[in-house]
Chains A and B, each alone.
Chain A
Amino acid sequence: MTAELFVQYLFAGITYGAIYAIVAIGFNIIYNATGIINFAQGEFVMLGGMISITLLPIMPLWLAITTAVMLTMVFGALLEICFIRWLENPSVLRMIIITIGLSILTREAALHIWGESIRSLPYFIGDEVMTVALFGARISPQVLWVIGACGLMVIGLNIFFQTTSVGREMRACAANRRAALLCGINTRNMVTLSFMLSAGIGALAGCVMSPITSTQYDIGTGLAIKGFTVAILGGLGNAMAAVGAGLLLGILEAFSVSVLPLAFKDAIAIAILLLILFFRPHGLFGSRTAAGLKEF
């Protein structure tokens, strides 16, 4: 493999990896707040892309994306308020089945609204054929948008969780929900907020990736599986490990194309998921003892 080809594969891997990482962070934020996996996470990505595409004819691109992200956040909050919030001590299994149901519902609703056609946002800068030279490889500027946007989201989330008082309260809820209640923190609002946050970052990822990967009503399922793999790979609940695991999966997938037929790309992710569940269920970066204490 030539050096140029290597860099080319690497960037393709990082692009997809960054998106997987964002989906996985979305999983982790909700997992930390509620202890459940929200299987509707992939649908947030799809909605972000679809809504912005729909809004594009009537407003400039940046406004369409902002509005799409806002609307998806409202949608995330509504899901939580309508279907999760009022449950008294629901079991993990029940909550998971609810989120799977919501995922199917959202997908089918999207099918009715937008149809089966494959759409996409225009490239933010230039067009499909425009490329920039980087380390000898030729890369679409949109790739840099995806990597940049995902990188900024990760940094932004870190700042939010580490320095703001709401971020601190959300971490407190994740660390010990009962104690958070005893400190006077409204933990239910924190759960709603975690859904909004996950929906927001998912939607933004859906917008920036749309020009490269296109958006269709059912892209959420695939992304949810990849994102789930990454979340498990990094160690469930560990948002920053998800970044490393996401990039790892993206790069593995990209390089697998050079040795295996393209059709096996998704099989790589599933194979990793199975291996990790069998041999390291606490993830690459997680601790075994902490995982042992988890209910799920």
Chain B
Amino acid sequence: MLKIRNLQSGYGKLKVLKNVSMHVAKGEIVTIIGANGAGKTTLLSTISGLLRATAGDILFEGQNLSALPPQKIPPLGCVLVPEGRQIFASLSVEENLILGGHPLKKTGKKELLRQLERQYALFPILKERRDQYAGTLSGGEQQMLAMGRALMSKPTLIMMDEPSTGLAPLIVQDIFKVIVKMRDEGKTVLLVEQNAQTALQVADRGYVLETGKVVLQGKAHELLEDVEVKRAYLGKDYGDFYDGKS
């Protein structure tokens, strides 16, 4: 579904991504883990067109995204839930969702309303708060709103940038349940996380990004068992292995 070949990207002269190649198949959850500054957000920004790739291809269902402006990408079925939610704080919850349905404009109002009801069914709290300013929601509610907004346009691939940041562990669980639910409904998810443990538990496959390069890839459960991953991203040090605690 999504194929990335030798992608290079960055900010001005600063090259962040150095020849990243990866793929995401239909119906799977793929996670990208890595430390701060590894290039995770840069990768998602480049796929969604906010940053221009300096080299390489991004093929989404056979179409090359790397030359498209950002607003042309959601109508193809590829949406990003950005880092830090980025909701429209001064607009109501319902308006936020309707704006997410912008790519459906041509298919008519009926479809838009149907999608709206679907998101309300998925996130009942949003229905309760539909007329509230989005900026008054709690962090978890804002994350749900950002996800609902992205789902409004009936995407086939949904990219999520650090959905668990700043949320209480219980809420993080809720969010990840929704992510699994989305996959079960046939959507494809590309998940970027610093919370590697939780991400690898729900994902099918994973990539480990380090200073702009893919250093490791594989099945999620294999990565969970990998000694290097454990040490670097799951908070266990070498001592734990020698003591046999792991």
> What B residues does A130 contact at CB under 8 A?
none
Q: How far is the CB of A11 from chain B (nearest CB, A)?
A: 35
* Set of chain B residues within 8 Å of A169, measured between Cβ atoms: 99, 102
Q: How far is the CA of A174 from the CA of B95 in the complex (A)?
A: 14
Count: A-B pairs, CB below 8 Å: 67
Chain B residue at smallest Cβ distance from A168: B95
Most chain A beta carbons < 10 A, residue from B50, B91, B102, B150: B102
Is A15 part of the binding interface, using a Cβ–Cβ cutoff of 8 Å? no
| B82 and A171 form a contact (CB under 8 A) | no
- Tell yes or no: B149 within 8 A of A by CB: yes
**Is B90 within 8 A of A182, CB to CB?**
no
With a cutoff of 8 Å between Cβ atoms, the chain B residues found around residue A172 in the complex are: 88, 91, 95, 99
The answer, yes or no, to whether A275 is at the interface (CB within 8 Å) is no
Which of A168, A178, A185, A187 touches B86 (beta carbons < 8 Å)? A178
- CB neighbours (8 Å) of B100 from chain A are 183
Given contacts A168-B98, A169-B99, A176-B86, contact A182 B74 (CB under 8 A): yes
Interchain CA distance A165-B106 in the complex, whole Å: 13
A175 to B70 Cα, complex, angstroms: 18
A47 to B90, CA, bound (A): 34
Q: Are A180 and B82 in contact, CB atoms less than 8 angstroms apart?
A: no
Evaluate contact between A176 and B102: CB separation under 8 angstroms.
no
B103 at interface by CB-CB < 8 Å:
yes
A189's nearest neighbour on chain B, judged by CB, is B71
Query: Chain A residues with Cβ under 8 A from B82's Cβ?
Result: 178-179, 182
Whole-angstrom CA separation of A184 from B82 in the bound complex: 14
Contact B102 A184 (CB under 8 A): yes
Q: Hey, which chain B residues are within 8 Å of A134, CB to CB?
A: none
B153 contacts A171, C-beta separation under 8 Å: no
C-alpha gap A169/B153 in the complex (Å): 15
> In which size bucket is the chain B interface?
20 to 34
Identify which of A165, A179, A181, A186 contacts B88 (C-beta below 8 A): A179
Residues of B within 8 A of A165 (CB): 98, 105
Instruction: Check B99 against A180 for contact (C-beta < 8 Å).
Output: yes
List residues of chain B with CB within 8 A of the CB of A171.
Answer: 88, 90-91, 95
Given contacts A168-B98, A168-B99, A175-B91, contact A181 B86 (CB under 8 A): no
- Alpha-carbon gap, A171 to B91, bound state (A): 8
Q: Which residues of chain A come closer than 8 Å to B139, judged between CB atoms?
A: none
Complex interface bits, A155-176 against B, C-beta within 8 A gives 1, otherwise 0? 0000000000100110110111
Question: Considering the chains assembled together, what is the distance between the CA atoms of A241 and B4 in angstroms?
Answer: 49
Known: A182-B82, A183-B102, A185-B99. A175 touches B90 (CB 8 A): yes
As a 0/1 sequence over residues 47 to 90 of chain B, the CB contacts with chain A under 8 angstroms (1 = contact) are 01110000000000000000000111111000110100011111
Contact B71 A175, beta carbon cutoff 8 Å:
no
Do the beta carbons of A176 and B88 come within 8 Å of each other? yes
Give the distance in Å from the alpha carbon of A175 to the alpha carbon of B141 in the complex.
Answer: 18
Shortest B192–chain A CB gap in Å is 15
A126 to chain B, nearest CB (A): 44
Per-residue contact bits, chain A 183-204, to B (CB 8 Å; 1 contact, 0 not): 1111100000000000000000
Question: B residues within 8 A CB of A178?
Answer: 50, 82, 86
Q: Which A residues are in CB contact (< 8 Å) with B95?
A: 168, 171-172
| CA–CA, A187 and B90, complex, Å | 17
Contact of A181 among B50, B87, B90, B105 (CB under 8 A): B50
Asked if A183 and B99 sit within 8 Å, CB to CB, the answer is: yes
Instruction: Compute how far the CA of A178 lies from the CA of B50 in the bound complex, rounded to whole angstroms.
Output: 8
Bound complex: CA A180 to CA B48 (Å): 12
Residues B71 and A184 in contact, CB atoms below 8 Å apart:
yes
Most buried by B among A174, A184, A187: A184
CA A131 – CA B11 in complex, angstroms? 65
Task: Name A182's contact: one of B48, B98, B105 (CB within 8 Å).
Answer: B48
Given contacts A168-B91, A171-B91, contact A184 B103 (CB under 8 A): yes
Chain B neighbourhood of A187, CB < 8 A: 71
Is B153 within 8 A of A184, CB to CB? Answer: yes
Residue of A nearest to B146 (CB): A179
Q: Is the CB of B70 within 8 A of A181?
A: yes
Give the complex CA separation of A171 and B92 in angstroms: 11
The contact sample of 8 A-B pairs, CB cut-off 8 A, is: A168-B98, A171-B90, A172-B91, A175-B88, A179-B82, A179-B86, A184-B73, A186-B71
Q: Considering the complex of A and B, which 10 residue pairs feature the smallest CB-CB distances, nearest first?
A: A184-B74, A175-B88, A179-B86, A181-B70, A184-B103, A184-B102, A175-B90, A186-B71, A183-B102, A172-B99
Contacts A175-B88, A175-B91, A184-B103 known; 16 new A-B pairs at CB < 8 A: A165-B105, A169-B99, A172-B91, A172-B95, A172-B99, A175-B90, A178-B50, A178-B82, A179-B88, A180-B99, A181-B70, A182-B79, A183-B149, A185-B71, A186-B71, A187-B71
